[in-house]
Structure 1
Amino acid sequence: MVFKAEVAAASPFACQVQGVYVDPSRRGEGLAAAGMAAVVRHALRAIAPVVSLYVNEHNVSARKAYARAGFEDAGTFSTIMF
């Protein structure tokens, strides 16, 4: 497997992309940006009018790839463990 992304939490109003993966030996080739752009095109056409995702702040390379695919930062979330 070279690239994968799952569309989850889908409703008629929005869906979320998760589980994005690029084979480590192929990273840096632009596959994530191209793959995400294709996933977004499909999701917008066949699933919902809004596509979102969550990415950790420290995952700089993924954030850059998602930005190249058209994603914009819409907010910040925190996880609190008790």
Structure 2
Amino acid sequence: MVITKSTNHEDEENSRRRQTHPTDVDEDDDVGDPVNSSVAANDNDEDAHQRLRRNGGDVKVDEVEVLMMMSVTMIHQTVEKISKLE
């Protein structure tokens, strides 16, 4: 089995192919109807954001607050240790 490294030309061709043949689902199933990938991605991002807010956004905020307080405590302890060394 021979493994070859792709060239920049191949990478560009693959990128171009993905742009002209997006993998997004065309909901109205019109053959030849290009799918606007950026709109689909933006819609997906917004949907994910809304689900996060409904399903646990508060939990994530609480976790961030705890991590911030731990960081502040560690910084404070480090400053105290440094001041004792001086």
Q: TM-score range by the shorter chain?
A: under 0.3
- The TM-score normalised by the length of structure 2 is 0.25
Over alpha carbons, which structure has the higher Rg?
Answer: 2
Decide which structure has greater helix share: 2
Decide which structure has greater strand share: 1
- The TM-score normalised by the length of structure 1 is 0.26
